[in-house]
Amino acid sequence: MRRSRPPIIRRTLADRIGGFVRDWSVPRQIAGQSSATKAAESALSRGLRPRLDEADTVGTNICPYCAVGCAQLMYAKDGRVIHVEGDPRSPINQGTLCPKGAATLGLMTMPERLDKIKYRAPHSDRWEERSMDWAMDRIAHLTKKTRDEAFVQELPDGGTVNHTQAIGSLGGATLDNEENYLIKKLFSAGLGMVWIENQARV
Amino acid sequence: MPSLGTTYGRGAATLAQWDLANSDFVLVMGSNMAENHPIAFRFVMRAKEKGATIVHADPRFTRTSALADIHAPLRAGTDIAFLGGIIRHILENDLWFKDYVLNYTNIATIISSDYQDPEQLDGLFSGWDEEKKSYTVDSWQYKDMKVPSSLAEHEPSTSDSFDEAAKSTSDGPPPEDRTLRHPNCVYQIMRRHYARYTPEMVERVTGCPAGTFLKVCEAITRNSGRERTGAICYAVGWTHHSTGVQMIRGAGIIQALLGNVGRPGGGVLALRGHTSIQGSTDIPTLYDMLPGYLQQPNANQKHADLQEFLETEQTPTGWWHNLPKYMVSLLRAWYGDNATAENGWGYRWLPKIVGDHSQLPMTLAMRDGVIKGMFFLGQNPVIGGSNSKQVQAGLAKLDWMVVRDCAETETASFWKEGHLVRDGDMRPEDIGTEVFLMPASLAGEKDGTFTNTHRLLQWHDKVVDGPGDSQSELWFIYHLGRRLKALYADSDLERDQPIQNLTWDYPERGPDRDPSAEAVLKEINGYTWLDRRQLSGIPDIKDDGSTACGCWIYCGVFPTHNDNKSRSRRADGPDGPGTHLGWGFAWPDNRRTLANRASADPEGKPWSERKRLIWWDAEKETWTGDDQVDFVKDKPPGFKPDWSKHPTGMDALGGDAPFILIADGKAALFSSSGLKDGPLPTHYEPLESPVHNQLYKQEANPVAKHWEKRDNELAEPGDPRFPHSFTTYRLTEHHSGGTPTRSVPVTAELQPEGFAEIPTELARELGIGNTDWVVISTLRGEIETRALVTDRLQPFHLGGGKTVHQVGMPWHFGWKGYATGDIANVLTAVVGDPNTSMHENKALVCGLRRGRLARDGGRHGES
């Protein structure tokens, strides 16, 4: 269900004073309306809709910060996330989130969010923008070159090691299991890298 | 987590977070749980509402202390003295849970008569080799029996003659004396070992008043037994020490002695810091393990070919006897049809490690030019790595590096804004590192699973695309692999066979050719090789090449093509049972509490109605209850191994042996194999300490790692230049290296700037006022920050009339984002625990003065 925001109506001073008197909750409470429900309403609040009302998509997310594993509901509109909240169904967080988890929308939409590939050439003093295709090609070639220049099949004593010590990888604890699986599979079983580590020791 | 691995068989949390609500006591130690895991701490608060006693033992009075019934202050790094004191209290006052401990732990087992204790050798165990600075573990074994380790990370060091002389665990039950009178039974050894850890000694060493310490002992022991259970929660406040593994061992021993493991509201909960840090240990982007805690082949061990590897690593008894199934099925998953019985399923294509390739020596390997290219995948070591200046010197020596993150990190920008440039040591044009900074997708912009701190796999959906060029790591690694396979396609060199033979077919979708995370999870779960049927559970995994399985402990998460259990979202209602078996998938086999066979007595009956979880149904001849049983489902409680047949695997474990990954099925109070620094936790001072060790001549852990001294020096005990104890920690508003919070306006606004907490008394002594600039120094470097003068830090009055002040500092900050501050890790050293190579950033020594650093040409003066 989609609903658009109520239009902003320009009102005269007399309208505003009249509205204020009508909305003033004290007389209404004296008249018997509850301060928690009816008397808390105003002309403005009656028109307000929750942000997630506008969403066209909702998905289940898991909080990207610590390892408690709080479930989140993530609402999007037109391909942009508009709201993230704790999933009330979760037996872990039961709808709650901590200050970090509650900032998940802020993380996804932060002004500093990187959206382009930046490249710094050796000895340069600046970033340059590059295309994905160029960067992937260059990284693949550097990986192959570095591996091939420093690949060891056997140690001097004849023992097989089939490894390279010239390339390392750091990170994984913020990533999906499927991502860690492919990292270990390609880097270790495919390329023979041994310097593979993540945040488990820090 | 080798500590829980050697003690209980698996290096993971034994209970679910929500189960803390069923605890009668919770000891939080080595963790500021209310600050760093606030949502999990709700369950501690729920337990408190129901009458549980909450204890917080910590150098600082924190948010956790404020909500606890007892706060026990102790000097950073003295946790083993404290825990050893609790063990002594339990043993000397006969407060251990006898029926549980006699049956489910090795308390009655007789240890080799060659064993000698640190009490006899002034801080060293028997087997010390002064030349190699390491132990051989022969004398730590059971009498005439060699005990295999349940760990992947171990490097057993025994003499060859011992290996031949010792009996196997298949030959008969371990030697034991249930009267506990034998002088070398574990009970008697422990009593002697901890005899001097009295409340008075605890006070002299830790600074915790003896009265407070005794209150803690009483609260813990009063709330354990048939009717009551308690839990211990820890985090990096334990792991970040040169004795970190042994601290957690201390907790493991206490919980085993009190009979708290495997039962509702009982156990040890590791609180981990990153969303999938448990997952990235299970499926390890770590150097020394393969998925599912299998060993990474090691050139220094008998691992030459698959047969030798399996002969070395397969334990004769216990669940790990199944290791060949898991190894062969992993090789089948990775090398597909190229893996054959003839070529040992492609085993030789796996790289062998030749030493310690963990993060701390990685820093030195970059600096020394061994590593020339680096991938940084969501990690920011300039902030999070020990000795940050050494890390930056390493980055400057690289030929190339790829940084993939959601914002520009300090690591990515070291060449223009880092210490090398700032200190005038180098200009950007002197730095030859080629840098690729690539935007990475976040959860919500990709789908896949995270494994949380209690082993729970939970799927997250892709809701939107990441901004601009952002892609997931799955996309990056998959397409990098495709390009590399194309580059190597025509090679006929033998060394290129691994990449050529690697299976790499995953369905793609969309214009960006996104690989399917579901397909990868299906491979992790495993399937039959010929007809691609999903494996329904761990027993389906075979050692004959007929099954492929990427991570055996995750088998069962995707049991049929249309059933992804990690997507399951059916929590239990208010009527229980509260194990939530329908929410996500917990490894292994959806078991929520590990070793839950121990929730029943040896006959299979619950210890009490109040604490029932799993029990034996004699009529149906099966274990049943509210959880999936962590045992052989139809093995009766009275089962005894038939030793005349030299039983192997699970046939060698009785029906009363709950710790199935340990070779004798019993929790290891005394750990014979697997740890490098001793079979029992022993108090050592941190590598940098303000005082000498009051218990032994041996000051610090003798096998602790200190890779080299250059630009990485340590202060001697009692160095007057560095009189204060220094510790690092985290804040609820920031996350680890800080990238995903310091750049987010709302969290940056809540904690906008770095600071150090300084005790009021010390501040007065040094003329430091609240919010003044201060300089903190160690032998590795100096930093400046703002002083937060507080009574939350109290001086420690130690033995010999010595008073030590504690200074603390959050380590999140750096120069990027909105919330900035100097980097705490400039102060820390590249040193570590001998078992895990984890650093010791929770306990070092520092100097402190009012003022600022002379930076930017000395522009800053006194504030």
Distance CA B296, CA B350 (A): 8
Distance from CA of A107 to the nearest CA of B (A): 6
| Assigned domain for B664 exists | no
Contacts of A121 in chain B (CB under 8 A): 434
Contacts of B732 in chain A (CB under 8 A): 98-100
Per-residue tokens: B616: 């034996």
| Assigned domain for B215 exists | yes
pLDDT value for B164: 64
Test A174 with B378 for CB contact under 8 angstroms: yes
Residue B782 phi/psi, 5-degree rounding, is -130, 145
pLDDT value for A31: 87
Average pLDDT value for residue range B392-412: 98
Contacts of B812 in chain A (CB under 8 A): none
**Residue-wise pLDDT tens digits, B652-693:** 999 999 999 999 999 999 999 989 999 999 999 999 999 999
Total Cβ atoms within 10 A of residue B849: 13
Test B443 with A79 for CB contact under 8 angstroms: no
Kind and range of the H or E run holding B306: helix B306-313
| Assigned domain for B331 exists | no
Contacts of B461 in chain A (CB under 8 A): 59-61, 74
Same domain, B70 and B212: yes
Model confidence band, residue B407 (pLDDT cutoffs 50, 70, 90): very high
Cβ pair B552, B325 in contact under 8 A:
yes
Test B499 with A101 for CB contact under 8 angstroms: no
pLDDT value for B860: 43
Cβ pair B242, B833 in contact under 8 A:
yes
Domain at B832, CATH number: 2.40.40.20
Q: Rounded to the nearest 10 degrees, what angle do helices B517-525 and A177-184 cross at? A: 70
**Coil, helix or strand for B237?**
helix
| Assigned domain for B234 exists | yes
**What is the count of structural domains for chain B?**
3
Contacts of A70 in chain B (CB under 8 A): 39
- DSSP lists the bridge partners of residue B478 as none
CB pairs under 8 A between A and B: 480
DSSP state of B533: P
Test A165 with B365 for CB contact under 8 angstroms: yes
Average pLDDT value for residue range B475-498: 98
pLDDT > 70 in chain B, percent: 97
| Assigned domain for B73 exists | yes
DSSP letter for each residue of B13-65 = -SS-GGGGGG-SEEEEES--HHHHSHHHHHHHHHHHHTT-EEEEE-SS--HHH
DSSP state of B81: H
Instruction: Give the dihedral sign, CA A135/A140/A144/A150.
Output: positive
pLDDT value for A11: 74
For A98, the closest of B39, B349, B462 (CB atoms) is B39
pLDDT value for A27: 86
ipTM greater than 0.90: yes
Test B477 with A179 for CB contact under 8 angstroms: yes
For A107, the closest of B371, B385, B740 (CB atoms) is B740
Same domain, B712 and B822: yes
Test A120 with B437 for CB contact under 8 angstroms: yes
DSSP letter for each residue of B177-234 = -TT--STTBHHHHHHHHTTT--HHHHHHHH---HHHHHHHHHHHHHT-SSS--EEEEE
Distance from CA of B199 to the nearest CA of A (A): 33
Closest among B444, B442, B440 to B461, alpha carbons compared: B444
Rounded to the nearest integer, the mean pLDDT of chain B is 96
Average pLDDT value for residue range B16-24: 98
| Assigned domain for B483 exists | no
Average pLDDT value for residue range B409-430: 97
Test B359 with A202 for CB contact under 8 angstroms: yes
Give how far Cα B848 sits from Cα of B725, B753, B774, Å: 11, 19, 7
pLDDT > 90 in chain B, percent: 94
Angle at B839 between CA B837 and CA B845, to 5 degrees: 145
Same domain, B224 and B105: yes
Pairing of strands B803-804, B796-797: antiparallel
Please check the confidence at residue B861 and state whether its pLDDT lies above 50: no
pLDDT value for B859: 40
Distance CA B635, CA B597 (A): 11
For A180, the closest of B283, B406, B750 (CB atoms) is B283
Same domain, B134 and B264: yes
| Assigned domain for B833 exists | yes
- DSSP lists the bridge partners of residue B806 as B725
Please check the confidence at residue B268 and state whether its pLDDT lies above 90: yes
Average pLDDT value for residue range B562-584: 97
Closest among B38, B48, B86 to B70, alpha carbons compared: B48
Distance from CA of A52 to the nearest CA of B (A): 14
Test A202 with B384 for CB contact under 8 angstroms: yes
Per-residue tokens: B684: 């050592």
Contacts of B572 in chain A (CB under 8 A): 91
Distance from CA of B485 to the nearest CA of A (A): 9
Q: Which of B226, B245, B270 is the last residue of a domain?
A: B270
Closest residue of A to B520, CA-based?
A178
Average pLDDT value for residue range B143-153: 82
Same domain, B259 and B399: no
Q: Which of B15, B234, B269, B283 to mutate to test the interface with A (most CBs of A within 10 A)?
A: B283
Cβ pair A87, A75 in contact under 8 A:
no
Same domain, B49 and B175: yes
Q: What is chain B's alpha carbon radius of gyration, rounded to the nearest angstrom?
A: 27
Please check the confidence at residue B858 and state whether its pLDDT lies above 50: no
For B372, the closest of A64, A96, A166 (CB atoms) is A166
| Assigned domain for B55 exists | yes
Cβ pair B540, B547 in contact under 8 A:
yes
Q: Which of B383, B413, B439 is the last residue of a domain?
A: B439
Distance from CA of A4 to the nearest CA of B (A): 21
pLDDT value for A9: 60
Test B376 with A106 for CB contact under 8 angstroms: no
pLDDT value for A1: 41
Same domain, B366 and B260: no
Domain at B18, CATH number: 3.40.228.10
Model confidence band, residue B863 (pLDDT cutoffs 50, 70, 90): very low
pLDDT value for B162: 63
Closest among B683, B807, B847, B737 to B241, alpha carbons compared: B683
Cβ pair B766, B809 in contact under 8 A:
no
Q: Which of B411, B439, B467 is the last residue of a domain?
A: B439
Torsion angle (degrees, nearest 10) of CA B92, B97, B99, B105: -80
Q: Which residues of A84-118 are buried (b: 16+ CB within 10 A; e: fewer)?
A: bbbbeebbbbbebbbbbbbbbbbbbebebbbebbb
pLDDT value for A51: 84
Cβ pair A137, A109 in contact under 8 A:
no
Locate tokens 């393990």: which residue?
B289
**Tens digit of each residue's pLDDT, chain A (202 residues):** 444 555 556 678 888 888 788 788 888 888 888 888 888 888 788 888 888 889 999 999 999 999 999 999 999 999 999 999 999 999 999 999 999 999 999 999 999 999 999 999 999 999 999 999 999 999 999 999 999 999 999 999 989 999 999 999 999 999 999 999 999 999 999 999 999 999 998 8
Model confidence band, residue B862 (pLDDT cutoffs 50, 70, 90): very low
Q: Which of A141, A177, A185, A187 to mutate to test the interface with B (most CBs of B within 10 A)?
A: A177
Residue B562 C-alpha from the chain's centroid: 34
For B571, the closest of A91, A103, A170 (CB atoms) is A91
Average pLDDT value for residue range B90-117: 98
Distance CA B258, CA B268 (A): 12
Please check the confidence at residue B161 and state whether its pLDDT lies above 70: no
Test B384 with A90 for CB contact under 8 angstroms: no
Test A195 with B357 for CB contact under 8 angstroms: yes
Burial of residue B617, with CB atoms counted within 10 A of its CB: 0-12 exposed, 13-18 middle, 19 or more buried = exposed
Q: Which domain holds residue B809?
A: 705-850
Same domain, B818 and B720: yes
Cβ pair A189, B345 in contact under 8 A:
no
**Residue-wise pLDDT tens digits, B737-764:** 999 999 999 999 999 999 999 999 999 9
Closest among B326, B586, B571 to B456, alpha carbons compared: B586
Distance CA B587, CA B552 (A): 10
Closest among A85, A26, A28, A35 to A55, alpha carbons compared: A85
Contacts of B571 in chain A (CB under 8 A): 89-91
| All domains of chain A in start order, with CATH | 13-47 (no CATH), 51-108 (2.20.25.90), 150-201 (no CATH)
Test B39 with A84 for CB contact under 8 angstroms: no
Test B463 with A124 for CB contact under 8 angstroms: no
pLDDT value for A25: 84
